[in-house]
Amino acid sequence: MRLVVNIPTYNEKDNIASCIKNVLAQAKNLKGIDLHVLVSDSRSPDGTADIVKRIAKQNPKVHYLDVVQRGLGVGLIKGHQYAIARLKADILAQMDGDLSHDPASLPPMVSLIGEGYDLVNGSRLTKGGKNLLGWHRRLFTWGSALYCKLSWGTFNITEYTTSYRVFTKKLFEKIDLNKIPWHSKTYIIQPTFLYAAIQAGAKIKEIPIIFTDRKKGYSKAKIIGYTLDVLKFGVKVRLAKSITFVKFLIVGTASYFLNAVALGLLYRGQIYFLKVLPSPILASLPTIESAPKFAFLTIDRLFVASVISIELSIIFNFFAHENWTFKDRSHKGLAVLRLLKFNFSSIASPIIQLTSILIFAHALNLSEQIGLAVGVILGLFVNYSINMLWIWKAHPKRV
């Protein structure tokens, strides 16, 4: 199993030799792992490249990549691509080259990959983590985390802007790089790559890290530009999620009216309070007074009408979501199998609707339409969560 630690650099001549040495020193703690270091340098004018090339000539575990375009995202993505294509990496890691990340965290991070996690996130904000930067950088890290939690809707992750991560080759190849602004001059690659991993269905684990300030050189972080990029990306994510939810609500509303009309015609021969048919479509079925009973169920006209109308709305929901609401999401397998899966996953909502209809009609002596409306609202949010997480998962295209 080969691990390649990608270190993107720009003007790190004072730190890079020590950084490489410290990373390679962890080989003794990585049993069964073939550890390599890749320095992806954006043509540093200070001689960083010469130092790395000299070390690489002496040690076959060290590699240099000439990254023409400057930028953290370019160094990371180009480096990971090189690590997979040329160095045959199975596990990818990334860390800063300014000695702010402790390589001693690598073994436990890699160990978690071995336990089945797709991405291990080094966090300064989880219990045991520390951020030893200045107050303004600490404020940015904390504020970005809070903002991403709220705008992304991800409350199980503590830090979003860390650059200390370990993940699998398989996960990297799942991510659609066209949806990540990795050519940006700011560090927006850090939160956006994490979001792409979440969208790809990655199993993520965080471990605490201690982030120390650099002793030599200077930070290239552009806090104002970075902050604006984080804000813009959060708005983009929130709008995308909101558009999907609005579509879901529209389909749900149309489905409700279809359900209500079918229920009214089948049970009473009317639409709400408007008489449409001389008699109900299911007039041949008995009402509750003379209907047969099975266990705790009374199979009367209202029960049968409710089941039929609910199933009609489920079928309508499936095809509307399939071709509109979740059109851009994963559509694996045959449509008929997904329809069956959708029926199964939607079982909570019809049970809620059916129970509500029967309670309002039989127990409360109110219109079955009131029970339907209450049941639809209660089941709406249950269905939305199930659809997003199971039926139409977000699977970016392979790059």
Structural domain boundaries, residue 168: 2-221
User: pLDDT-based confidence at 46, cuts 50/70/90?
Assistant: very high
Residues 181 and 260 placed together within one structural domain of the fold? no
Residue 254 Cα to chain centre, angstroms = 28
Q: Is residue 38 packed enough to be buried (19+ CB in 10 Å), middle (13-18) or exposed (0-12)? A: buried
Q: What is the mean pLDDT of residues 9-32?
A: 95
Amino acid letter at 119?
Answer: L
Residues 179 and 255 placed together within one structural domain of the fold? no
Q: What is the CATH number of the domain that holds 174?
A: 3.90.550.10
Quick check: 162 and 383 in contact, CB under 8 A?
Answer: no
For residue range 335-381, list pLDDT tens digits in order.
788 788 777 766 777 788 888 888 988 889 888 888 888 887 777 66
63 phi-psi bin (left φ>0, alpha ψ -120 to 50, beta other): beta
pLDDT of 147 above 50: yes
Residues 101 and 186 placed together within one structural domain of the fold? yes
Q: What is the mean pLDDT of residues 170-179?
A: 92
How much is the pLDDT for 222?
65
pLDDT of 329 above 80: no
Q: Is residue 246 packed enough to be buried (19+ CB in 10 Å), middle (13-18) or exposed (0-12)? A: exposed
Q: How far apart are CA 97 and CA 219, in angstroms?
A: 11
Residues 138 and 12 placed together within one structural domain of the fold? yes
Q: What is the mean pLDDT of residues 231-256?
A: 86
The number of helix segments (H) and strand segments (E) in the chain equals 12, 13
Strand segments, DSSP code E, in 182-338 are 204-208, 210-211, 270-271, 274-275, 293-294, 297-298
- DSSP bridge pairs for 297: 294
How much is the pLDDT for 218?
53
Domain for residue 183, yes or no? yes
pLDDT of 326 above 50: yes
Amino acid letter at 165?
Answer: R
Domain for residue 397, yes or no? no
Q: What is the mean pLDDT of residues 112-132?
A: 95
Question: What's the structural domain count of the chain?
Answer: 2
Domain for residue 92, yes or no? yes
pLDDT of 78 above 80: yes
Amino acid letter at 24?
Answer: L
Dihedral sign of CA atoms 317, 320, 321, 325 in order: negative
Q: How far apart are CA 109 and CA 111, in angstroms?
A: 5
Residues 73 and 187 placed together within one structural domain of the fold? yes
Q: What is the mean pLDDT of residues 245-262?
A: 89
